[in-house]
A and B are shown apart, each in its own frame.
Chain A
Amino acid sequence: MTTVTSGAALTPAVAVFEYHLVGYRRTWRGSVFGSFLLPVLTMLGFGVGVGAYVTGGVAGVPYLDYIVPGLVMSTAFQVAAMESSWPVLGNFEWHKIYFAQSAAPLRVGDILGGHLLFVLFRVLLSAGTFLAVAALFGAVRSAWALAVLPVVALFGAAVAAPVFAYSATISTDSYLALLFRFALLPMSLFSGVFFPVDQLPLGLRAVAYVMPLWHGVDLSRAATLGVAPEWSAPGHVAYLALWAAAGWWLARARFRKRLVL
């Protein structure tokens, strides 16, 4: 009986990841502006331009150094959200890619996991490149900055997994416009990327604490500045892991409901 050859430790989810990479090899050029150039332009515009007016800096550091760790996370956030929304909906509704995959010897978890892995790869690539460029501008003040990468991966999962679940539930992309306008855009404005959350009114501050972005930003800022985070580091990690785990569980249930008819 022919069973799935294990080959070079090839788990089915890795084959799915590989499939997404092959597609990315053809489309990466189109993503360069959004994923790499835009964050750098934002850094220059805000950090250097606005920073010139923010005399005395923020939290005791120059404004550029202050927003760079925030922008690392907001880049991760944008890429995670974008890559888990339209592509996921499209794989159900338009090209039916997930249905093609489910006829192969893959399980729902492999299809979801392989795609999620690819999204994390994209998130790490964009945020990592941005971090490297920022370091060239001298905006990274501590070797702890390397710890940003695993945080980016965890944060990416905390955002991508729930967005996968959402995108697997809807049937038209007008619901994605809703998600971006009323959840994701406000989150990226009020999560401590550009200014400390304690300047926000209490209600908005509570929202920042509940959503994942502020937790990522606080960790990232502590790492690139080499200071202690505002809130407990293990607490941040555990909270992000909770978002990721709950998101995964929900996404798998939604995927199963849509694929297994």
Chain B
Amino acid sequence: MTDGRPLIEATGLVKRFGDFTAVDGIDVSVRAGEAFGFLGPNGAGKSSTMRMIGCVSPVTAGRLRILGMDPDRDGPAIRARLGVCPQTDNLDPELTVAENLTTYARFFGIPRKVARARAAELLDFVQLTERAGSKVEPLSGGMKRRLTIARALVNEPDLVLLDEPTTGLDPQARHLVWERLFRLKRQGVTLVLTTHYMDEAEQLCDRLVVMDGGRIVAEGSPRDLIARHSTREVVELRFAGESQEAFVDKLAGIGERVEPLPDRVLLYVHDGDAAVATVHERALAPESVLVRRSSLEDVFLHLTGRTLVD
């Protein structure tokens, strides 16, 4: 029924809490099979948007259609086809790992036997089979996160919503989650995720929007956004002394833009090595020099003038 139509269509979407506006008129459209990201710092309005898409939070204004249906009218029918991994895990610590999946499957009207089979399959998928019979409480953060992701898949959803799937995980646990999400993506599952990690967005998202203060400030593929809002390379210079700001004038003209941060200066350039050579020709002696590829972090900095701090 939704063939060819976007799974998510939002126009002028607004969410207010009292007189505070958390989401301030955003337009979003997500097609089947896409991995779509909301990138932005804390408080940008990502979770508020996800909760409206998940049909647990009523839309204040604007139009929202999920799987072609209206969340106001068809909430349960839409939720029956969604998988949701919320920002904070809300597993049942008193049940076992497997029971967390089987009981949740029953909320979707899935027969017990099918629920058990699917729980076994999903535990295998998220590499928790050996923990199937243990309680949830003693699991590590990464394991809980993987279990929450497995729970989101228990109804074989058409659309999976992941709100900060890897926040708070150590690098190893994060890579394991990424790897699983990447597999889902390859299987053609439509993923919508929020993150404030640039590398996560670059790795997983086909397309993303950058959110700030409840608005969308840019949209495109990670590569597009970097091409449009940054340069190919970035040189990071750290100067001795208290003020990095003081060096901005001395660096003027090198590359396209100079961006002073509290602890370093960024030069946005096409060719990093050539820029470093110019810096030395001007007899400037930075304490450290790093040439790197441009990232979404730079895009965000350019668009908002702020860094994304986790």
Listed in ascending order, the chain A residues whose CB lies under 8 Å from chain B are 1-8, 10, 12, 15-16, 18-19, 22-23, 26-27, 95-97, 99-107, 259-261
Contact = CB atoms under 8 A, between A and B. Distances in A.
B109 A10 contact: yes
Contacts of A261: 17, 51, 56-57
Interface in B107-144: 107-111
**By DSSP majority rule, is chain B's interface helix, strand, loop, or mixed?**
loop
Most chain A Cβ neighbours within 10 Å, of B76, B90, B102, B110:
B90
Contacts of B51: 261
B167 interface: no
A7 B109 contact: yes
Interface stretch (B81-89, B172-180, B292-300): B81-89
Contacts of A260: 56-58
A1 B109 contact: no
B263 interface: no
B111 A7 contact: yes
Contact of B95 (A3, A22, A96, A105): A22
B80 A105 contact: yes
20 contacts: A1-B1, A4-B80, A7-B109, A12-B109, A18-B103, A19-B106, A22-B102, A23-B95, A95-B93, A96-B90, A97-B92, A99-B86, A100-B91, A103-B86, A104-B107, A105-B77, A105-B79, A105-B80, A106-B76, A106-B107
Contact of B90 (A4, A12, A95): A95
A23 B94 contact: yes
Interface of B: 1, 17, 51, 54, 56-58, 75-77, 79-82, 84, 86, 88, 90-95, 99, 102-104, 106-111
Contacts of A16: 107
Contacts of B88: 96
B188 to A, nearest CB: 16
A22 B99 contact: yes
A95 B92 contact: yes
A104 B79 contact: yes
A101 B57 contact: no
Given A15-B109, A100-B91, A103-B84, 5 more contacts: A3-B77, A26-B94, A95-B92, A99-B56, A107-B76
A2 B106 contact: no
Contacts of A7: 109-111
A4 B76 contact: yes
**What 8 pairs across the A-B complex have the smallest Cβ distances?**
A104-B107, A96-B90, A105-B80, A100-B90, A4-B109, A105-B76, A15-B106, A19-B103
Contacts, number: 90
A102 B79 CA distance: 9
Contacts of B79: 103-105
A200 to B, nearest CB: 42
A22 B108 contact: no
Most chain A Cβ neighbours within 10 Å, of B1, B51, B107, B110:
B107
A152 to B, nearest CB: 26
Contacts of B95: 22-23, 26
B56 A5 contact: no
Contacts of B110: 5, 7
Contacts of A6: 109
B109 A103 contact: no
Nearest to B67: A1
Nearest to A1: B1
Contact of A2 (B76, B80, B90, B102): B80
B51 to A, nearest CB: 7
A211 B270 CA distance: 79
Contacts of A102: 56
Most chain A Cβ neighbours within 10 Å, of B17, B84, B91, B94:
B94
Most chain B Cβ neighbours within 10 Å, of A1, A10, A259:
A1
A18 B111 CA distance: 12
A27 B94 CA distance: 8
B308 to A, nearest CB: 25
Nearest to B69: A1
Nearest to B152: A103
A165 B87 CA distance: 27
Most chain B Cβ neighbours within 10 Å, of A2, A7, A26:
A2
A96 to B, nearest CB: 4
A163 to B, nearest CB: 21
Contacts of B1: 1
Most chain A Cβ neighbours within 10 Å, of B57, B79, B102:
B79
Contacts of B76: 4, 12, 105-107
A106 B17 CA distance: 24
